[in-house]
Structure 1
């Protein structure tokens, strides 16, 4: 089976829940002070526009593919910080029982990422690159390869 990745979601002011906490953690990873509450309010919108300006993107406060791609960074074993928290929020280790993401990409996070990648039909290498981010943020569907 192979994965078909869903398009990057369009997220804007008024959005709630997934993928807003992931967005908020990623904004924090770029130095923006936002509360990770799953609500795309004025604070998150201001941070998005400021980030878009620093990257030369249209500063419209709407997070589409171009902004998502600018926000993500490859993370893997040994990494630390808010990008790792974003991964942990979406791909929690089985033994975390809802614990707050700690921002350390240790063995439990690596195992959870590998399990997620395998379930999504991606290469299960334990590293969160572009395709894994897209599956975490936008989703993935497993399709049986024809032939």
Structure 2
């Protein structure tokens, strides 16, 4: 896997850990990358180098490692936990950081503070650990997954959230793990990832935040306006159509969009007239 694929493989687990333990996804992903050299070095599915302790509930494996002692990198043999899967390792990492010892990590205001606090709390003995984590986060823009949970759903109700989740499913806007959303009225990390994807498509601000702007945009699409070369408005709906048909996304219904709409219609056994009317909308949102 390349770096993009590695990050993508870690995102679902990191978001679940965020939802369950409130550990910033950027920290989880960066630690996984740093601890394993971009997943090159993993023994027993232990991504984070978590040590084995009596009663931890996991099998033990003894591995050679290095610890920094009085500023000197010292080789030694240590006991580490062995997991059934990488997903188990990610969740156990979140559970570990939820302990009182790491309280400052959970309450950190941003990824920089979290990286420093995870070191201060004794997670690692390498004094350069925070800088290395921050570098990985910033070089790969992992901070985009850290939407403040208290800010995610301003002035919205559970009914609003359920409606949004239903619409995102109909629009084929999938969560980061490429699955449909649960209609539960809760703004968790997976719903946030789908919101971010739609905001990218529609070029909306308030990244990852669910508020009136995203609701209005979704409604303008669900109204299924007639769109064609003669359309002067409906930019939001046109951007969505362009995304679904593989056209360049600019909100302008030009010749390229008309051509690709015709191709979409032909592939779906619809009248290929290049006009997005009722039947084409029904197919797009089925």
- Larger Rg: 1 or 2? 2
- Name the structure, 1 or 2, with higher relative contact order (CA <8 Å, separation 6+): 1
- The alignment's TM-score, normalised by the length of structure 1, stands at 0.48
| TM-score w.r.t. length of structure 2 | 0.27
